[in-house]
């Protein structure tokens, strides 16, 4: 089976700065891969590149069978990126935000209510403007959008940040459920213990490159 993510000597520039300076990475279907590294190592840029948001200036990159050098747009409906702000509209309610994300991705709007319920966004919270929610609640709404969209590739940037203990456990359950359902997950996290327990493999980045050594975790 072809890898879900395949980067070969991929280079991406942010301005003139090489945020990715020759990344080699392969992620197989159903894997949970943890990206680790110091601030500025290139983890977020790599996740954004996987989502087709960052143009690559050289090298090869294929995500879900889409050649990112040739066409970065076509992969976007099939990946879900949970960034730092969660791509939410502050003035819309939680339910409206999730419904928009699902309909934009061509998904089934019937998945909205169960996803919100799964993330504990119930009652009045559903119609409350996202800008009025706490950081943790916003994170839950963004996760609900991801769950409702059910993308083939989950790209999670510091997914545990802002969540309480119950929220972190729930996130881990959601990731495992997504993988059990056929999805693949790449996450970047500084919370080594929790994220390592979740991931099947850890990839360390430094200076915009993947370090040669990878560590595999035994489930």
Q: Which residues bind another protein (CB under 8 A)?
A: 51-53, 55, 72-73, 76-77, 79, 81, 83-93, 96, 100-101, 103-106, 129
Task: Please state the closest distance from residue 128 (CB atom) to another protein, in A.
Answer: 11
Min separation Cβ 39 and another protein, Å: 15
| Cα-to-chain-centroid distance, residue 109 | 21
- Minimum CB distance to another protein, residue 164 (Å): 22
Query: Residue 42 or residue 86: which is nearer to another protein going by CB?
Result: 86
Decide whether 149 or 209 has the Cβ nearer to another protein.
149
Classified as helix, coil or strand, 216 is: strand
Tokens of 64: 């879900």
Q: What are phi and psi of 103, to 5 degrees?
A: -65, -35
Which residue's CB is nearer to another protein, number 31 or number 96?
96
Instruction: Give the residue with the Cβ less far from another protein, 75 or 202.
Output: 75
Residue (of 44, 47, 48, 138) closest to 92 by Cα position: 138
| Closest CB 165 distance from another protein, rounded Å | 25
Min CB(19)–another protein separation in Å: 13
CA–CA separation, 125 and 217 (whole Å): 38
Q: Tell me how far apart the alpha carbons of residues 128 and 33 are, in angstroms, rounded to a whole number.
A: 34
**Of 115 and 202, which has the nearer Cβ to another protein?**
115
Comparison of 93 and 162: residue with beta carbon closer to another protein: 93
Alpha helices per DSSP H over 17-156: 43-50, 94-104, 112-118, 135-149
111: which 2 tokens? 């998945």
CB of 108 to another protein, least distance (A): 15
Q: In what order do the strands lie in the sheet with 184-188?
A: 79-82, 153-157, 184-188, 32-36, 201-206, 209-216
Taking phi over 0 as left and psi of -120 to 50 as alpha, with beta for the rest, 40 belongs to left
């Amino acid at each position: 089976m072809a890898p879900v993510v395949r980067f070969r000597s991929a280079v991406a520039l942010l301005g003139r700065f090489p945020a990715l300076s020759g990344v080699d990475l392969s992620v197989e279907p159903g894997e949970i891969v943890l990206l680790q590294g110091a601030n500025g190592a290139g983890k977020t840029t790599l996740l954004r590149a996987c989502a087709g948001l960052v143009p690559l200036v050289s090298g090869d990159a294929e995500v879900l069978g889409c050649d990112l050098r040739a066409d970065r747009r076509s992969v976007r409906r099939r990946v879900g990126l949970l960034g730092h702000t969660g791509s939410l509209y502050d003035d819309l309610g939680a339910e409206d935000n999730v419904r928009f994300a699902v309909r934009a991705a061509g998904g089934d709007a019937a998945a909205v209510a169960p996803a919100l319920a799964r993330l504990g966004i119930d009652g009045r919270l559903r119609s409350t403007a996202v800008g009025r929610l706490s950081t943790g609640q916003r994170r839950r709404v963004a996760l609900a959008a991801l769950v409702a969209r059910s993308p083939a590739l989950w790209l999670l940037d510091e997914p545990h940040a802002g969540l309480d203990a119950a929220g972190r456990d729930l996130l881990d359950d959601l990731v495992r459920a997504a993988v059990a359902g056929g999805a693949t997950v790449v996450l970047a996290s500084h919370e080594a213990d929790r994220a390592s327990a979740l991931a099947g493999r850890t990839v360390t980045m430094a200076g915009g490159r993947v370090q040669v050594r990878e560590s595999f975790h035994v489930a």
